Amino acid sequence: MQPNLEGIVSQGFRISWKYKILWVPNILFWVVILIVVIPFLPFILSPFAGIDGGPTVDVNWQLYIGFWILFIAVSALLESIANSCTIVGILHAEAGNKVSLGELADEGYKYIGRVIGIILLFRFSTLGVIVTFFYLFSSLPNLMSLLCFPALFLVLIAYLFLNILIEQVKVSIVIADINVTGAIRYAFRIFSKNFGLLFMIFLIIGLVGFAISNILGVVVALTNSITPLFLLLSHRFERSGLDYRIVTIVSGIISLPLSTIIEGAFMAFEKSLLTTAYLQLMHSSAEKANLQLVA
């Protein structure tokens, strides 16, 4: 059976909507990320202090860079757990089986080490390219000002290609239960033979993600607008004494849970599309034979 874009999108949406248990690992991922990030927001934003004319802050750059390296590693671990559990759940959904969160964790944990390895490889490679780009820009400003946009375009194209490939590697690791090098070889074979289909899937994911981000932006804007009015109308605060820190906290209490649920559902939808595409490609005997060669 030849992969069909309409069938992949339909099946991916059906699975991610019917099996809402798939949302849970991804919601937990965002909850933990928020718990980690929110207390460190002043530290994260410290390099940008004074940009609006306010007081500047001395930044310990070694500590700042170390924080981001640690955050990348921790978020990669959390993402590998969410990805592994979600893909395992999609396999059960494809077979029509009901599965609990505990079963997802029991079956998904054995893939975490391999999945986190490929995530870290991707992230630090991307970080290395970004650092190199900005180093060249600061060292060779005249030359890089001429090459900036062409170089940036090539970097973005390379990032897109690599992102498509990495996502297929993660699915290969979980579904085929093969090592990282074997998964990379097989994913590259799928990528090279079916780039058009995979590109269209990523385009759909990107468009859906863009629409969701705009919807969330509207929700946050409305919350930030309505909350002060509600507080004033409830006579809890006088207009002159309205503390916008309280407004921010109240707005966050309203908008963050909704945002987290929507982001979790979107991640489940994304993985459903990618996993469904992989499984449809696996239906051909030729691809099965190729998998035997790289396993």
180: exposed, middle or buried (Cβ count in 10 Å: 0-12, 13-18, 19+): middle
pTM exceeds cut of 0.75: yes
Residues in the chain: 295
Percent of the chain's residues with pLDDT above 90: 32
Residues in the chain predicted with pLDDT less than 50, given as ranges, are: 235, 237-242, 285, 289
Q: How far is 7 from 273, CA to CA, in rounded Å?
A: 10
Q: How far is 183 from 171, CA to CA, in rounded Å?
A: 9
Q: How far is 132 from 267, CA to CA, in rounded Å?
A: 30
- What is the per-residue pLDDT across 88-129, written as a single tens digit (0 to 9) for each? 999 999 888 888 888 999 999 999 999 999 999 888 888 887
- What is the per-residue pLDDT across 239-259, written as a single tens digit (0 to 9) for each? 444 455 565 666 666 778 888
The encoded tokens of residue 246 equal: 């309280």
Nearest to 226 by CA among 253, 247, 257, 246: 247
C-alpha distances (whole Å) from 123 to each of 37, 40, 71 are 18, 21, 11
Query: Which pLDDT does position 239 carry in this prediction?
Result: 47
- Tokens 């002043």 belong to 42
Strand, helix or coil for residue 252 = helix
